[in-house]
């Protein structure tokens, strides 16, 4: 994971951990922690708790697909 995140170093990022969105500049990545410089303070986030890291305003590759509502209709419904 660490190697994949090097492209985010020293850039503005959005990190999701514990269901919370954190925004700031990614300063350091280790096997245990991520150091983020936020607007008003420094944040340390456990690497194991991070579920997503992306550039602000850029959507992550979707993990879901929109489905047609027709698949939910029962055979006896018209």
Domain range summary for the chain, segments of one domain joined by +? 3-72
Class in CATH terms, 3-72: mainly beta
In the chain, alpha helices (H): none
Distances (CA, A) of 78 to 67, 70, 72, 74: 19, 10, 12, 8
The confidence band for 31, taking pLDDT boundaries of 50, 70 and 90, is confident
The confidence band for 64, taking pLDDT boundaries of 50, 70 and 90, is very low
Which has the higher per-residue pLDDT, 7 or 35?
35
pLDDT at 68: 58
């Amino acid at each position: 994971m660490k190697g994949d995140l090097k492209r985010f170093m020293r850039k503005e990022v959005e990190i999701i951990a514990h269901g919370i969105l954190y925004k700031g500049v990614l300063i350091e990545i280790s096997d245990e922690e991520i150091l983020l410089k936020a607007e008003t303070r420094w944040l340390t986030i456990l690497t194991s708790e991070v579920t997503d890291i992306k550039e602000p305003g850029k959507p992550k590759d979707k993990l879901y697909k929109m489905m047609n509502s027709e698949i939910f209709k029962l055979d006896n419904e018209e």
